C-alpha cells in the first residue's frame, strides 16, 4: 500500500521545527535551515520514487504469480482457481513443487529414451560444437572398439582413430538441420567390417550445432551382394560357351536343305529364337555384374551426341521401317558430353530398343538435348503405350516388367533399364523417367559436359 501522505506530514513537522528554531536563534540559522530544507526535499523526491517503484514491483510479482498459478491449474484440468494465496511464500512453494514434478517427468522420459538408444542395433555417437564427446551407445562402442568409461570430454580425434569418420563428424556441424552426410567405410579394428555412416547436425542451445553419427554394420549385406555378383558372373561365363555352340549348330541346321519337312524347320527356328534370347539374357547379366562390381573401366572423352544417335539408330532401321516409326533426331551438332563412348552406345541401344518394342505402328521416337549449367539433359521421347504410375518407381529394377507377356513376346530380358541406370550413375549422371498411359514415355539423362580444356581444338 502507498504511504506517501504520512511521509509528507512527517516532512512538514520537521519543517515547522526548523522554522521555530530559526526564529529563536536568528538569521544564521535561517540560512542553515533553508539549506537543510533543500536536502530534505531532494531526499523526499528520491524516497517517494523508490517507494512507488517497490509498490509497483510487488503488484507485478503478485500478478505474475496469479497468472502462473492459473496456467498450472489449467494443465491439471481445473477451469478456475479455487483460492488465491495470501502470501508470496506459499505461491513460490507451490511453484517449486510443480517444477519438481515436471522435472521428475522429464527425467523419466529421458531415462526411457536413453534405454531405447542404448539398445539400438545401430551405433550412435554425439559430439558438442567443439568436437568433444557427449554420448555413445553400446553398439557404437562395439563397432569402433571404444571404452565408454574413458570417452567423456575427449575430442573427436581422440575418440575416433578413423580419419574418414572423424572428418565426417566435423563436416556435420556446418550442415543445415535438414541435411545429412552419408559414407561407407571399411573398418579393420577391432574387427574387419563394412560400416554405413550417416552424419547429421545436432541442434544445441544458443543456436550452436554439434554432430551426431549413426553407424550401421552392413558387412553381411555387402558379403551377400559380392557372393551374388560372383555367382552371376561365374554362371554367365560358364553358360556362354555351350550356348554359343548351340546357336551355331541351330543356325547350321536352318541352312540345311534336308530340313524341308512340315515341322522340322519350324522346330529348329523356334529353338534358335529361344537360344538367342537366352544369349542376350546371359550377356545382359554379365554386363550388369561387371558394372555393379566396379570392373568397368571408363575411358572418358568428348562425345558428340548427334552423330552417335544416328549411328545407333541405323542398327535399328529394319525394325523402324517394319513398324513405320518416325525417327526424329533434333540434337544439335555441337552437343557434346564428357563420357565413355562405348557406355553411351550401350545406353542408346537399350533405350532405342525399348522405345521401338513398346511403340505402336506409325508412332515416333524423338531425341532432344538441353544445356543446364554444367550438365546436358538428353531426352528420348516415344509415343508408345506408356507406363502406369504405380510401376514407375520399380521400372529400373532388374527383371521387372510392366507387361510380362508382351516383354516375352518382344524378346526382352527385363534388364535394359537396370543397365541404363547403373551406367548413368557410373558416368556421374542422373536418370529420370516420366510416362503416362496411352501418351508415351520420356526418359531424361543428365550427363556432364566437357570442360573448356577438354573441348576439341577448332580445325584450321
Q: How confident is the model at residue 53 (pLDDT cuts 50, 70, 90)?
A: low
> Quick one: how far is CA 285 from the chain centroid?
31
The model's pLDDT over 386-408, given as tens digits with 9 standing for 90+, comes to 888 888 888 887 777 766 555 55
Query: Rounded to an integer, what distance in angstroms lies between the CA atom of residue 190 and that of residue 142?
Result: 8
Looking at the chain, the whole-number percentage of residues with pLDDT higher than 70 is 75
- CATH number for the segment(s) 300-454: 3.30.565.10
Structure confidence at residue 253 (pLDDT):
79
pLDDT for residue 249 is more than 70: yes
More confident: 331 or 284: 331
The model's pLDDT over 8-26, given as tens digits with 9 standing for 90+, comes to 556 566 666 665 655 555 5
- CATH number for the segment(s) 121-217: 3.30.450.20
State the cell numbers at 272. 534358335
The DSSP output letter for 149 is G
Burial of 211 (0-12, 13-18, 19+ CB in 10 A): buried
Check if the beta carbon of residue 236 is closer than 8 Å to that of residue 285. yes
Report the SS3 class of residue 414: coil
pLDDT for residue 130 is more than 60: yes
pTM: 0.56
pLDDT for residue 459 is more than 50: no
Structure confidence at residue 380 (pLDDT):
92
> The sheet that has 326-329: what strands, in order across it?
326-329, 364-372, 375-382, 440-448, 430-436
Cis omega before residue 347 (within 30°)?
no
| Domain ranges across the chain | 4-74, 121-217, 228-292, 300-454
Least confidently predicted of 67-76, 134-143, 352-361? 67-76
State the cell numbers at 196. 554405413
Amino acid at each position: 500500500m502507498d504511504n506517501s501522505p504520512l511521509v509528507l506530514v512527517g516532512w512538514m513537522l520537521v519543517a515547522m521545527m526548523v522554522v521555530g528554531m530559526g526564529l529563536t536563534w536568528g538569521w544564521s540559522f535561517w540560512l542553515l535551515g533553508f539549506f537543510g530544507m533543500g536536502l530534505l526535499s531532494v531526499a523526499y523526491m528520491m524516497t517517494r520514487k523508490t517507494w512507488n517503484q517497490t509498490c509497483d514491483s510487488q503488484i507485478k510479482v503478485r500478478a505474475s504469480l496469479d497468472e502462473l498459478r492459473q496456467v498450472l491449474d489449467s494443465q491439471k484440468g481445473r477451469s478456475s482457481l479455487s483460492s488465491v494465496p495470501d502470501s508470496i511464500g506459499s505461491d513460490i512453494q507451490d511453484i517449486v513443487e510443480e517444477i519438481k514434478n515436471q522435472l521428475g517427468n522429464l527425467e523419466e522420459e529421458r531415462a526411457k529414451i536413453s534405454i531405447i538408444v542404448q539398445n539400438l542395433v545401430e551405433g550412435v555417437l554425439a559430439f558438442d560444437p567443439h568436437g568433444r564427446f557427449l554420448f555413445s551407445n553400446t553398439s557404437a562402442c562395439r563397432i569402433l572398439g571404444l571404452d565408454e568409461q574413458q570417452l567423456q570430454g575427449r575430442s573427436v580425434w581422440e575418440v575416433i582413430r578413423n580419419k574418414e569418420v572423424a572428418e565426417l563428424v566435423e563436416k556435420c556441424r556446418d550442415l543445415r538441420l535438414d541435411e545429412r552426410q552419408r559414407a561407407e567405410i571399411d573398418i579393420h579394428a577391432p574387427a574387419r567390417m563394412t560400416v554405413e555412416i550417416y552424419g547429421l547436425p545436432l541442434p544445441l542451445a544458443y543456436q550452436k550445432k554439434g554432430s551426431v553419427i549413426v553407424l550401421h554394420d552392413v558387412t553381411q549385406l555387402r558379403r551377400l551382394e559380392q557372393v551374388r555378383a560372383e555367382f552371376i558372373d561365374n554362371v554367365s561365363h560358364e553358360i556362354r560357351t555351350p550356348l554359343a555352340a548351340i546357336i551355331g549348330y541351330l543356325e547350321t541346321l536352318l541352312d540345311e536343305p534336308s530340313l524341308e519337312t512340315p515341322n522340322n524347320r519350324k522346330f529348329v527356328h523356334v529353338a534358335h529364337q529361344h537360344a538367342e534370347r537366352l544369349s542376350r539374357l546371359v550377356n545382359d547379366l554379365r554386363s550388369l555384374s561387371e558394372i555393379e562390381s566396379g570392373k568397368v573401366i571408363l575411358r572418358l572423352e568428348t562425345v558428340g551426341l548427334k552423330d552417335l544417335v544416328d549411328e545407333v539408330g541405323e542398327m535399328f532401321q529394319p525394325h523402324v521401317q517394319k513398324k513405320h516409326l518416325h525417327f526424329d533426331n533434333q540434337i544439335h551438332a555441337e552437343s557434346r558430353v564428357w563420357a565413355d563412348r562405348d557406355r553411351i552406345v550401350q545406353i542408346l541401344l537399350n533405350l532405342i530398343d525399348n522405345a521401338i518394342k513398346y511403340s505402336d505402328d506409325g508412332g515416333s521416337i524423338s531425341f532432344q538435348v538441353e544445356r543446364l549449367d554444367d550438365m546436358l539433359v538428353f531426352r528420348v521421347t516415344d509415343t508408345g503405350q506408356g507406363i502406369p504410375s504405380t510401376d514407375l518407381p520399380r521400372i529400373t529394377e532388374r527383371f521387372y516388367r510392366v507387361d510380362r507377356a508382351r516383354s516375352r513376346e518382344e524378346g526382352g530380358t527385363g534388364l535394359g533399364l537396370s543397365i541404363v541406370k547403373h551406367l548413368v550413375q557410373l558416368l556421374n549422371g542422373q536418370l529420370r523417367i516420366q510416362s503416362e498411359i496411352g501418351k508415351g514415355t520420356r526418359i531424361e539423362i543428365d550427363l556432364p559436359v566437357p570442360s573448356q580444356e577438354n573441348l576439341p581444338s577448332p580445325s584450321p
